Structure 1
Amino acid sequence: MRDTTMGRWARGAVAALVLTGPLALAVPAPAAHAGPAQGSSGTEPFPYPDAGLTLVNHRGLSPGYPENTLAAFRNSISMGVDAIEIDLRATKDGEIVILHDETVDRTTDGSGRIGDLTLAQVKALDAGGHVSPEFAGERVPTFAETLAAVKGSDVRLLLDIKESDRVADIVEITDEHRMADQVIVGPRTVAALNEFKALDPGLSTLGFIATPQDADAFIAAGVDYIRLWPDWITASRDDAACETDYAARVAAYERGERPAPGSSSCVVEDVVSQGTPVWSTTNDLGYEPMDELLRLGATGLLSDVPAELGRLLGDIEDERAATSVRRIAELRERVERDGHASSSTTMLKQLDRAVRHLDRGRPDRACRSLERSTRDSPPAGQRAAVERIEAILACSRFA
């Protein structure tokens, strides 16, 4: 689904030529449907985070698939999502299985608390027939079965751990499958976070915090990501005190005192300013609400509609490339106007290469060319312009 090399953009319709001469390259026409906010020329910040964006398929859901099943997970892998969020619970006999609810009633043909059923009893239940006859006989998977299904793919598993007393078992099963690099564990308490880090310091972690006020404690304990609910993010943006704070940050940015004004949602800004990315659970929210959350600074969304989120992320990648080409054209004119020193020659050559790579859908190579463009110590203003373009392309994701 997602093409992180911007191949979709490279195949877009030609709207204009932004450079002259033999290196003239195409800028794609805007999409016919309502798309993401357009980045402007000059120094106005690009409206999305300067980091790669992550598509997380919530419970492996897609329309027509039974949640938290191997069928749903295989479909997610085939769609090209970045990660799958799964829910972990324990059976009566201590086996870790994938199930969201405390009971099996909603997602199987059985009834009862998962903690009162043995694995054999759980495995006898049909977890797919309630969605479609096509999935009749689909079973509740174990954590081990899920790891085996995902192993070898490019997809990571985000573990929403419903019972914090099973931390050691989860780490042990993950290590047995040698899957630590494909797992992000999601503790709900700082104590569980500390236990995970003590057992395996290399595991990536996302804090499923209970309130926005809990974020600082999780960050202090070394969490890698924080999950914020959409209504927390938008409520913070609409708070009068936050509006005042954001206005002050914008003014500081316009005076050149900040590299960017940051998020207009203060709960996002508080987390991101400490170096911790924000993810959000959007469930079945559509294109526009997800677009808003990304513009407010979230870099990962847990979605029940991965195709719609994938379309949005593709549109954002298109706009990253198109805006970067425009900014490079402006910088190129400035460099030519400022003179033809050796630094200018190097910069012009590398800027042309960067645009060529973008036209071919290779932002990673474009970022390398931008980095090389400043090796001959150009003037500070030109270097700053390159850094702004690198931020638009989210070059840090290719480091």
Structure 2
Amino acid sequence: MSLPFFEHPDDAGRQLPIAMAHRGFSAEGLENSMAAFRAGVDLGFRYLETDVHTTADGVLLLFHDETLDRVTDGRGRVAELPAADVARARINGREPIPTFDELVTQLPEARLNLDVKDWGSVRSTAAAIERHQVHHRVLVTSFSDRRRRAVLKLLSQPVASSAGVASNALFTLLGPALPRPAFRWLMRRVLRDVHALQVPVRYGRVPVVTTGFIRRAHDLDLVVHVWTINDAGEMHRLLQLGVDGIVTDRADLLRDVLRARGQWPERPGQGNRPPGPAA
């Protein structure tokens, strides 16, 4: 990949697998909190996966759900609440919901995989990327290809982007069925603004991440990131298969797997950190 977001070399210049902390890292249910994001960075993670929603008055938040109800002590739909009300809610009763502005400024080295969760966040996401000039630090994704493309159209510079559900499904189902030239011709049009395929190991009973899937992706200069993998054996299997990245809730476990494989970028002071989870 030529885009800066994907550049992840070791000291010898080898491209390393991208390890992505899913909603940060917390053993205490503090997903998408600054505590979880800092814990991921403290473990040595350069890449953080997160989600964006927007308040009624236009503040871009890092939050997965449409409502506050599941993970906070607050109630109500994020899109219908002013930022001042959302700011009073606490994740798991402890941590405030962070804004995009807070994350990009407080963790300036982190690269962010942004899942745009609703249409109300299209303009606010693009505006935040432009405001901070962090095009090189973000990958824009969404389950909806239309919503993802709507964000891209508002940006002044290229950013990394991954396919939505419909495009991933076409790639998965048509890959084994079409002749290679026809498949390449079609996918270059369907995936014209896509750089990554971020997929689960399987959709229901349909296997997705196979040697053929990875080969076809690489043939089109696409990287393959797999979510959400929390088992060490499965991490090893996927890395051996040739995936380019793994998204995990168990950042501590994935770090240990990559270290064992000689694929973890050690930084000064990391070697003495305890291996256990942090909140």
One-letter amino acid of the structure 2 residue matched with residue 192 of structure 1: R
State the identity as a percent: 24
Task: Determine if contact 1:55/1:81 at 8 Å carries over to the other structure.
Answer: yes
Superposed, 1:117-196 pairs within 5 Å as: 117-129=81-93, 136=94, 138-151=95-108, 153=109, 155-196=110-151
Q: CA deviation at 1:65?
A: 5.5
Match of 1:204 among 151, 160, 165: 160
Is 1:309 the counterpart of 2:254 in the alignment? Answer: yes
Q: CA deviation at 1:103?
A: 1.4
Q: Which has the higher helix share?
A: 1
Q: Which runs of 4+ in 1 moved over 4 A?
A: 232-235
Where does residue 272 of structure 1 map in the other structure?
218
Match of 1:111 among 72, 75, 82: 75
Task: Output the CA distance in 2 between the equivalents of 1:208 and 1:292.
Answer: 25
Q: Which has the higher strand share?
A: 2
Question: How many residue pairs align between the two structures?
Answer: 241
Q: CA deviation at 1:64?
A: 2.9
Where does residue 62 of structure 1 map in the other structure?
26
Match of 1:221 among 177, 192, 195: 192
1:333-361 CA-to-partner distances (Å, cap 9, x unmatched) read: xxxxxxxxxxxxxxxxxxxxxxxxxxxx9
TM-score with structure 2 length normalisation?
0.76
Task: Output the CA distance in 2 between the equivalents of 1:307 and 1:218.
Answer: 39
Where does residue 269 of structure 2 map in the other structure?
none
* Pair 191,79 (structure 1): closer, same or farther in 2 beyond 3 Å: same
Query: Radius of gyration: which is bigger?
Result: 1
Where does residue 273 of structure 2 map in the other structure?
none
Where does residue 393 of structure 1 map in the other structure?
none
Q: Flag structure 1 segments of 5+ consecutive residues without an equivalent.
A: 7-49, 130-135, 238-262, 321-360, 362-399
Where does residue 300 of structure 1 map in the other structure?
245
Structure 1 residues 75-84 or 111-120, which shifts more? 111-120
* Pair 123,165 (structure 1): closer, same or farther in 2 beyond 3 Å: closer
Q: CA deviation at 1:160?
A: 0.7
Q: Flag structure 2 segments of 5+ consecutive residues without an equivalent.
A: 1-7, 172-186, 267-279
* Pair 264,302 (structure 1): closer, same or farther in 2 beyond 3 Å: closer
Task: Determine if contact 1:277/1:299 at 8 Å carries over to the other structure.
Answer: yes
Task: Output the CA distance in 2 between the equivalents of 1:3 and 1:188.
Answer: 29
Task: Output the CA distance in 2 between the equivalents of 1:235 and 1:123.
Answer: 41
Q: CA deviation at 1:81?
A: 0.6
Task: Output the CA distance in 2 between the equivalents of 1:290 and 1:233.
Answer: 20
TM-score with structure 1 length normalisation?
0.55
Task: Determine if contact 1:194/1:221 at 8 Å carries over to the other structure.
Answer: no
Task: Determine if contact 2:161/2:195 at 8 Å carries over to the other structure.
Answer: yes
Q: CA deviation at 1:272?
A: 2.2
* Pair 119,105 (structure 1): closer, same or farther in 2 beyond 3 Å: same
* Pair 108,165 (structure 1): closer, same or farther in 2 beyond 3 Å: closer
One-letter amino acid of the structure 2 residue matched with residue 279 of structure 1: H
3-state SS in 2 of match to 1:293:
helix
Q: CA deviation at 1:197?
A: 3.5
Q: CA deviation at 1:295?
A: 2.2
3-state SS in 1 of match to 2:53:
strand
Where does residue 99 of structure 1 map in the other structure?
63
Task: Output the CA distance in 1 between the equivalents of 2:189 and 2:102.
Answer: 30
